[in-house]
Amino acid sequence: MKILGIDPALTITGYGAIYAEKNKLRLIEAGVIITSAKQDLTQRLNKIYRATLKLISDTKPDILVLEKLYAHHRHPATAYILGHARGTICLACAQKNIPLAEYAATKIKKAIVGQGLAPKQQVQRMVMNMLNLKTVPKYTDVTDALALAIAHSYIAKTKR
């Protein structure tokens, strides 16, 4: 199964595509989509949307995985901005007829590390170990996206 995980954000959107079969995981592609704060919102969203369409076309995933939206009461505007980026990704999925899965951050961390409140660095180390990555990605958004894909491979197995 090819799984594309995307960690959406307006400035740096991380992505990671893996191939999961039985108990083996293999990295297909990973990276970031970066937009500039100097661009207006519509240009930034368009860049995320077009890049997502290209990712779907290039990697041909069986499913795309996103983290469920979480809004902290102290920073409600963050959820709105994140919602814009997520919306463009959801639209790309719909247009390409790719199923979409969403999981809470705690469920992702539990699947990867075994603890729902694990720190980001611990998740990053586990993802690197699981995929035999030799260098730490420049952006944690990449390992966050890969964690989404890996977690889905585990969660989907338990649902069968």
Integer CA distances (angstroms), 12 to 5, 78, 105, 156, in order: 14, 14, 18, 27
Residue from 58, 62, 102, 141 carrying the catalytic annotation: 141
Is residue 67 part of the annotated active site? The answer reads: yes
Is residue 144 part of the annotated active site? The answer reads: no
Burial 126-154 (b: 16+ CB within 10 A, else e): bbbebbebeeebebbbbbbbbbbbbbbbe
Residue from 7, 40, 62, 144 carrying the catalytic annotation: 7
Residue from 29, 58, 67, 102 carrying the catalytic annotation: 67
Note whether 143 and 12 are within 8 A (CB).
no
Is residue 62 part of the annotated active site? The answer reads: no
Note whether 154 and 7 are within 8 A (CB).
no
Residues tagged active-site: 7, 67, 141
